[in-house]
Amino acid sequence: MGKDINITIPDLRYENTFLTKVKTNAKKTHKAKLAKQQGIKLEEVHDDETQLAPISPSIVIYTVLQDQLMQLVQGFGMALGLILLKPVLGAVFASGRRAGNSFVAGIKSIGAAIIPTDEVGFNHF
């Protein structure tokens, strides 16, 4: 009859988020440039909010680096941190195991003193 057609719908959420970040970075850069030109503080700049700030290739590159590369660096940092903390985490784990074993041994000794057993070691309860 007919062939099944598979249409892949692209995920456009990333595009909208990326465009928003590019526009935000462009606005910050434009505002800083206006403050430098006018010789005033950045907080005192009143620019037209309805006018779009110019988007240059450097702003797009900065946004890509901020959006992608920084997350990669953060992931490497977290992995390196866990590798370096492995001996410490092993010591914490061993300490917890020893504390648990001594707690259970204490409970068993209290239980042995309270519950009577016969000479074979069988509990009658």
User: Could you read off the pLDDT of 77-124 as tens digits, one per residue?
Assistant: 999 999 999 999 999 999 999 999 999 988 888 877 776 666 666 655
The C-alpha atoms of residue 47 and residue 53 are separated, in whole angstroms, by: 10
Q: Where are the domains of the chain?
A: 13-85
Q: pTM of the prediction? A: 0.48
